[in-house]
A and B are shown apart, each in its own frame.
Chain A
């Protein structure tokens, strides 16, 4: 083995709720942070409606328009591990803990949607019947695969189409597993970004020669308003560093006021602040864990195949006819 060891990055969770997570990742390289971000966006598997069979549709929206709208409805994907996409191979570790038998992976789940536009007298006096995600009928065998906020009281469901009296929609929708690289409907993130926080140093001694008005000018020059003049001490101080946009305006203003270098800004090394928001298909921390799992799996597949290449090479060497080794 080489002398270099794998890193052990530090993680600190700053905010965490049902919709989003904000955390710090420290003591690692930018390439790791960026790989994590990219995988969260495009390679964490989720569920989405992928195939729609329309039986009847005389609404104002055409078949493919409705199909597209259905595809974009986030589906609760906490059970996505039990699914297998068509391109995936069966894994050996899918064994039932109690019976010891292999678990048959799911490939698809079917929803149905049948709504008829009611006359206004049967519809609380309303001319239009609104078809929403709550009108979808779930697969009775898989009640935990459902559109987000399915039949949750006081939460507005997702509108699919609106009907006039006499218009109707009837269809069968197939839910499948997929990744954001295939189609954005499988992307679990509404946001997945990271930024590098700034380390700001204010040299009070250099600023001591400035008048109060000049200090105010200096503070006002920052468009992201990250500084303020302390009302008591009249010192320039950092107010909210995490809003700083690296615009350098205040650094240049300091130069104009003849105190160049009084305010120094640099990026904190090896420090990344992630913000991840979910579409609702997966809890936010599951997106992050799912991304790490996907990355790890990717790297393991690569190292296994690299081992295969090395093995073939050794085999040739074993043939030993004195020629320099060649790779496959």
Chain B
């Protein structure tokens, strides 16, 4: 009776933003980035991509705070010469490129388009 609708897992509500950023009050150059309607698939993927950026990213972690609240929270701290949100965006762009690269490689090997 109190069950959530199944679509709540992946349909973004009209009044919500996909990404919200809150600056950390105690640590400099650290932010909490909340991504709505996503899960561990993206969480773990992005966290590891942030770890690869050794030059700027000093800390990156993620958690799904509650199993019935369909959002992922990242915490990112970067060095002073780069904004942590920029680092997050860089990671997303690198991953997107990587997906394109895999897609191209598979298309080439399978022989479609």
Contacts and interface: CB of A to CB of B under 8 A. Distances in A.
Interface of A: 1-13, 16, 23, 25, 28-32, 34-36, 38-39, 43, 87, 179, 181-183, 285, 288-289, 292-293, 295-296, 298-303, 305-310, 313, 325-328
A308 B86 CA distance: 12
Given A288-B106, A289-B107, A302 B18 contact: yes
A71 B95 CA distance: 35
B56 A8 contact: no
B80 interface: no
Interface of B: 6-7, 9-11, 17-23, 31, 33, 35, 38, 40-42, 44-45, 47-49, 52-56, 82-83, 85-90, 92-103, 105-107, 109-110, 112
Given A303-B89, A305-B17, A292 B106 contact: yes
Contacts of A293: 103
Contacts, number: 156
Contacts of B103: 289, 292-293, 296
Chain B interface main SS type: helix
Given A8-B101, A182-B6, A328-B21, A1 B90 contact: yes
B10 A6 contact: no
Interface centre among B7, B41, B100 (most CB of A within 10 A): B41
A302 B42 contact: yes
Given A285-B110, A296-B103, A306-B33, 19 more contacts: A4-B52, A6-B93, A6-B97, A6-B101, A7-B94, A9-B101, A23-B106, A31-B44, A31-B47, A32-B48, A292-B99, A302-B35, A302-B42, A303-B96, A305-B17, A306-B19, A306-B85, A306-B88, A327-B85
Contact of B95 (A6, A183, A313): A6
Given A31-B48, A38-B41, A289 B106 contact: yes
Nearest to B5: A182
A36 B99 CA distance: 9
Contacts of A5: 94
B94 A6 contact: yes
B94 A327 contact: no
Contact of B92 (A289, A303, A313): A303
Given A292-B106, A306-B88, A182 B96 contact: no
